[in-house]
Chains A and B, each alone.
Chain A
């Protein structure tokens, strides 16, 4: 158990809909990362938040957005869903500051199926 919690584990929805994925980082970790894993693209970095602020952005579509709340949990919002958005979405968290050696701790993922 990595200590990172993601909900829901599975989600089935229709094209054009909007969903929200939720992540609670490990206790004490200030930084949250979102990744998308699909068969054709592999593991793609979407976005990073650090203590409520956006810190880095990767290949995140404009239809997707994220935020990190004062209690450090994060949400990834996916809107106007397309079939190609079907994927496994991972959240990860990390130690920051002087202890940062780059290691990320991953949740078990949220599997999104768009029909």
Chain B
């Protein structure tokens, strides 16, 4: 069964500092991996996704993530944090069969990012 583990339920950084949010996955097949962001009182918005093309994936708002098969990791980074990045971030793995019609997302427990001025 596929699963996702996010290390750290809360991460606090200063404005302008590096953001690093950790995600490790477990999957018996080449996975689809995702990072979603949830701002307060809003739904989930896709930040970026890995679908077995380039291992370094660039997303919106300056975020990127690197797929490392040897480490089963898909950590999210941003070189310089902005106040507007404060939100909850979720890593997810899909059990979708490529080209198929199934596929729910299995989410990690989320990491709440705080950005200090």
Interface residues of B in 1-57 (CB under 8 A from A): 32, 34, 36, 42-46, 49, 51
Q: Is the CB of A107 within 8 A of B43?
A: yes
The count of residues in chain A whose C-beta lies closer than 8 Å to any C-beta of chain B is 30
| CB–CB B42/A108 < 8 A | yes
* A58 contacts B100, C-beta separation under 8 Å: no
How many residue pairs link A and B with beta carbons under 8 A? The number is 73
Inter-chain contact B51/A101, CB cutoff 8 Å: yes
Complex Cα gap A108–B38 (Å): 10
For residue A98, which residues in chain B have a CB less than 8 angstroms away from its CB? 99
Q: Determine if A101 and B32 form an interchain contact, defined as CB atoms under 8 angstroms apart.
A: yes
Pair B103/A100 contact, Cβ less than 8 Å: yes
Residues of B in contact with A, size category: 20 to 34
Pairwise interchain contact A50-B102, C-beta atoms closer than 8 A? yes
Q: Which of A12-20, A40-48, A65-73, A76-84 contacts B (4 or more CB under 8 A)?
A: A40-48
Which residues of chain B are near A55, meaning CB under 8 Å? 101-102
CB atoms of B96 and A101 under 8 A apart: yes
Distance between Cα atoms of A41 and B108 in the complex (Å) = 10
- Given the interface pairs A102-B96, A109-B43, the reply to whether A58 lies near B104 with Cβ below 8 Å is yes
A-B contact sample (10 more), CB < 8 A, given A56-B102, A100-B98: A4-B43, A33-B104, A42-B108, A42-B109, A45-B105, A55-B101, A92-B44, A102-B34, A106-B36, A108-B43
Across the interface, name the chain B residue whose C-beta is closest to A34: B104
Could you write out 22 A-B pairs with CB less than 8 Å apart? A30-B101, A33-B105, A43-B90, A45-B104, A45-B105, A48-B102, A50-B102, A56-B102, A58-B104, A90-B44, A92-B44, A100-B98, A100-B103, A101-B32, A102-B34, A102-B49, A102-B96, A102-B103, A104-B104, A104-B105, A105-B46, A106-B45
